[in-house]
C-alpha cells in the first residue's frame, strides 16, 4: 500500500546548477522523512538535468521530470502540483536553502489550523556566497489572516509572502481556485495568493524557516521585466481593493493607497527605466499608466511623496493621513 506523503515539495529548475545542490540538499536533510520531492527541469541548457538524474538513485523520495521545451515557472509548477500526492504542497526555488525543521514546522502549523488555504513563513536573506544579509522589520501581522485583513494589508503594502519558497498551499483549495494562472509570467504567485485569501484565511508562521537568496540573475530583479510586472499586478491590485467593497471606510482607504502609494511607486519605476535608457519599456509603462490615471496628476503625487520621503515623513503620511 502506497503511503501518502504528509507534504509535497515542488521545484522547477532552469539553468540552476550554481545553487542547485545546496537547495536540494537542504530539502533532503529535514527533521521529518514522510515527504516527496518533485523536480522538473524546464529545458535547461546547463548541467542541471545531469545532476538531477543522479538524485533518484540515492533517494526514492525524489521524482525527476523534464520539459522538452521551456514552459516557464508557473506552467512547470502546475505540472508538478498535478503530479504530487501530498495534501500540503510546499513551493520551492532552486536558489534557496531550507532550515532543517522547515517542513516539520509547516506541517504542524497546518495541522493546528486545518482550514487554512495557504501559509507563509518568515525568512533570512543570504547573498550569492550564502552570507546572511541582515534585514529586520517590525511586522505585526497575526498568525491568522482572514480575507478582509489580507485585502487591507495587500492594498496598502503589496504582496504579503513576497516569494514562493516560504509558501505552503493546501491542495484542495489550490485546485478550487485553478492553481497558477499560466497566462501570467511574473505575478501568477501574487494572483494565486489573492484568490486563496479570497476563499478563506491564510496563515503566517513567524519563525524564520528559509534562507532566501538574493542575486542579480533573478528575473524579478531584471529591469526589462518592470513594465510586464506592473501590467500583471494592476488587475490583481484592483481585485484586492474590490474585496473591501462591503466596508465603505476600508474601501475608501484602499483606493487612496492605490492612488498615493502604489501608483507613485509605478511612476518611480518609470523614471528608473528612463534613467537606464530603456525607452521601449518606458513607452509601454507610460501607455499602461495613462489607462489608469492622469500622468500629470501622477507626477504631482509622486513629487509630494518623494518630498515626504526626503524629510522622512512618508510613513507618517501613509499611516496618519491615508490610513486614519
pLDDT digits (tens, 9 = 90+) for 142-172: 999 999 999 999 999 888 998 899 999 999 9
Q: The pTM is what?
A: 0.93
Spatial separation of the C-alpha atoms in residues 266 and 231, rounded to whole Å: 10
Query: In 10 A of CB 282, how many CB atoms?
Result: 20
The larger pLDDT score, comparing residue 41 to residue 58, is at 41
In this structure, are residues 107 and 88 in contact, taking their beta carbons and an 8 Å threshold? yes
pLDDT digits (tens, 9 = 90+) for 223-245: 778 999 999 999 999 999 999 99
**What does the block give as the cell for 146?**
482572514
pLDDT at res. 55: 83
DSSP E strands: which ranges in the chain? 7-13, 35-41, 62-66, 88-91, 97-98, 118-126, 144-145, 167-170, 202-213
pLDDT at 52 > cutoff 60: yes
pLDDT at res. 2: 67
pLDDT at res. 59: 83
Helix, strand and coil content of the chain, in percent to the nearest 5, comes to 50, 15, 35
Q: Which residue has 525543521 as its cell numbers?
A: 101
For residue 95, report the phi and psi dihedrals to the nearest 5 degrees.
-95, -15
**Residue 260 DSSP symbol:** I
Angle at 289 between CA 287 and CA 292, to 5 degrees: 115
pLDDT digits (tens, 9 = 90+) for 190-222: 999 999 999 999 999 999 999 999 866 555 556
pLDDT at res. 218: 52
**What does the block give as the cell for 235?**
488587475
Q: Which residue has 489550523 as its cell numbers?
A: 113
Spatial separation of the C-alpha atoms in residues 266 and 113, rounded to whole Å: 37
Mean pLDDT of 63-84: 96
pLDDT at res. 1: 54
Closest to 42 (Cα-Cα) out of 70, 18, 64:
70
Mean pLDDT of 23-34: 95
pLDDT at res. 212: 92
pLDDT digits (tens, 9 = 90+) for 240-263: 999 999 999 999 999 999 999 999
Spatial separation of the C-alpha atoms in residues 130 and 96, rounded to whole Å: 9
Mean pLDDT of 31-48: 95
Name the least confident of 83-87, 131-135, 257-261: 131-135
Helix boundaries (H) for the chain: 17-28, 48-58, 73-83, 102-112, 147-157, 171-176, 188-199, 226-242, 248-257, 263-275, 279-290, 295-310, 314-317
Amino acid at each position: 500500500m502506497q503511503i501518502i506523503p504528509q507534504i509535497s515539495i515542488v521545484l522547477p529548475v532552469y539553468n540552476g546548477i550554481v545553487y542547485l545542490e545546496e537547495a536540494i540538499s537542504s530539502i533532503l536533510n529535514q527533521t521529518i522523512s514522510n515527504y516527496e520531492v518533485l523536480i522538473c527541469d524546464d529545458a535547461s541548457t546547463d548541467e542541471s538535468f545531469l545532476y538531477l538524474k543522479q538524485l533518484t538513485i540515492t533517494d526514492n523520495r525524489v521524482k525527476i521530470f523534464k520539459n522538452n521545451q521551456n514552459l516557464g515557472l508557473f506552467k512547470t509548477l502546475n505540472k508538478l502540483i498535478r503530479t504530487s500526492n501530498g495534501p500540503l504542497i510546499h513551493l520551492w526555488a532552486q536558489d534557496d536553502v531550507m532550515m532543517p525543521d522547515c517542513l516539520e514546522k509547516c506541517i504542524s502549523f497546518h495541522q493546528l489550523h486545518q482550514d487554512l488555504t495557504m501559509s507563509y513563513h518568515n525568512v533570512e536573506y543570504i547573498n550569492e556566497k550564502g552570507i546572511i544579509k541582515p534585514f529586520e522589520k517590525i511586522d505585526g501581522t497575526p498568525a491568522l489572516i482572514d480575507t478582509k485583513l489580507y485585502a487591507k494589508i495587500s492594498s496598502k503594502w503589496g504582496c504579503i509572502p513576497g516569494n514562493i519558497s516560504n509558501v505552503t498551499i493546501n491542495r484542495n483549495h489550490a485546485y478550487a481556485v485553478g492553481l497558477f494562472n499560466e497566462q501570467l509570467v511574473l505575478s501568477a504567485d501574487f494572483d494565486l495568493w489573492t484568490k486563496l485569501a479570497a476563499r478563506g484565511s491564510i496563515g503566517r508562521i513567524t519563525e524564520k524557516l528559509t534562507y532566501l537568496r538574493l542575486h542579480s540573475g533573478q528575473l524579478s530583479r531584471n529591469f526589462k521585466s518592470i513594465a510586464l510586472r506592473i501590467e500583471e499586478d494592476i488587475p490583481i491590485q484592483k481585485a484586492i481593493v474590490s474585496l473591501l467593497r462591503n466596508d465603505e471606510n476600508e474601501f475608501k482607504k484602499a483606493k487612496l493607497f492605490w492612488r498615493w502609494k502604489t501608483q507613485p511607486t509605478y511612476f518611480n519605476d518609470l523614471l528608473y527605466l528612463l534613467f537606464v535608457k530603456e525607452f521601449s519599456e518606458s513607452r509601454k509603462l507610460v501607455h499602461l499608466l495613462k489607462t489608469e490615471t492622469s500622468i500629470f496628476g501622477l507626477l504631482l503625487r509622486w513629487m509630494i511623496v518623494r518630498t515626504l520621503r526626503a524629510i522622512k515623513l512618508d510613513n507618517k503620511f501613509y499611516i496618519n493621513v491615508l490610513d486614519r
